[in-house]
Amino acid sequence: MDLSTAMWTAVVVGAAAVYWFVWMMGAAEVKGKRAVNLKMGSIAKDKVQDKYKQYWSFFLRSKEDIVAASDDDKVPAFVDTFYNLVTDIYEWGWGQSFHFSPSLPGLSHREATRKHEERAADLIAARPGQRIVDVGCGVGGPMRAIASHSGAHVVGITINEYQVGRASAHNRKADLDGLCEVVCGNFLEMPFPDASFDGAYSIEATCHAPCLEDVYREIFRVLKPGALYVSYEWVTTGLYRPDDPRHVETIRGIERGDALPGLRAQNEVAAIARQAGFEVVEERDLALPPAEPWWTRLQMGRFAYWRNHLLVSVLAALRIAPKGVVDVHEMLYETARHLSDGGETGIFTPMHMILCRKPLLINQ
């Protein structure tokens, strides 16, 4: 084989490899996002790296400093930045449901995710004719599952305008825009009248609130008397030891990489709900047996990480993806490692379920 033939062969093989990575491995027909379409939300392409650096420097600070910053709205602003940075990557690599679910024998991940979402609808007894609020809806995967399962009208709220567009597009594609709607807003100050919803749920979303009682009080406000609210909370468990440096680094790694001002302890959640005015109906960790380990999917995904990291690096080098996407992808991989460590050691769960009711008679 002469030199020119070898060069052309290399070009063809290289082109075929890029095509395979981008259009086959990178395809996301169910998820709705391909690798070549990765954006960083509403952030201009040339500002992605700067926004990532600002985000990272903010969440590297102490918990006390981060919570104190919430007084001037910095935490919600950085949560918005976080979802601009990660929404497309989540959707491309994870799907339209940005949460974990119990691993159930005999069910695929997708089936287990759907069952986990439908459980929320059943817990709050959602049914046709009701209006339900999804507090922190992301791109609306759970919303569509719950609306389809229950027949209720679901209104989702997300702080991120880009997610509003993505969720609305998915609703139309699924022919569910008659049952699902999305609004942009801060769940600490929801643009809804008092007592305007028949039920509410939040799936791994209220962990972004600097003060959990604040978001619980706001949910309490918009619910009708007697209505039910269920939340799947990210918490540290009773096995967490704040004097163990390994435990501290695992939890801080989860917080830094997921825009969390500070994880709550599992045994604090019910008291916070009661302080907000709720009656606590049920509370349990859905990640415990008979559910199988939820974190194994993160461990099985390490090959996919290296494959995808190569892909985003190539796309960034070719200026198809924005500069900074490689840093964001690396951050998410490191966060997945901390999440897996939290699950393996038992010091963290993303599925602490609390079911609450707004009393029929409110003490003034």
pTM of this prediction?
Answer: 0.89
Backbone angles phi, psi at 127, to 5 degrees: -155, 170
Return d(Cα 77, Cα 136) in angstroms, integer: 15
Q: Average pLDDT, stretch 299-303?
A: 62
Q: What is the pLDDT of residues 62-118, one digit of tens each?
A: 777 777 776 667 889 999 999 999 999 999 888 999 999 998 888 888 899 999 999
Strand pairing of 131-135 and 197-203? parallel
Of 312 and 209, which is predicted with more confidence?
A: 209
Supply the pLDDT for residue 55. 94
What is the rounded distance in angstroms from the CA atom of residue 339 to the CA atom of residue 7? 45
User: pLDDT exceeding 70 applies to what percent of the chain?
Assistant: 87
Number of other residues whose CB lies within 10 A of the CB of residue 310: 12
Is residue 309 pLDDT above 70, yes or no?
A: yes
Question: What's the pLDDT tens digit per position in 176-194?
Answer: 999 999 999 999 999 999 9
**What is residue 42's three-state secondary structure?**
coil
Q: Measured between alpha carbons, how far is 332 from 317 in angstroms, rounded to an integer?
A: 20
Nearest by Cα to 202 from 238, 264, 253, 158: 158
pLDDT category at 30 given cuts 50, 70, 90 is very low
Hey, is 263 helix, strand or coil?
coil
Whose structure tokens read 């951050």?
331
Contact 182, 171 (CB under 8 A): yes
Mean pLDDT across the chain: 89
pLDDT of residue 104: 82
326-359 pLDDT, tens digit each: 999 999 999 999 999 999 999 999 999 999 999 9
Dump pLDDT digits (tens) for 215-257.
999 999 999 999 999 999 999 999 999 999 999 999 999 999 9
Residue-range domains of the chain with CATH: 31-364 (3.40.50.150)
Which of 10-14, 43-47, 109-113, 203-207 is the least confident region?
A: 10-14
Please give the average per-residue pLDDT across 29-36, as a whole number.
61
CA distances from 168 to 76, 92, 104, 172, 364 (A): 22, 17, 30, 6, 39
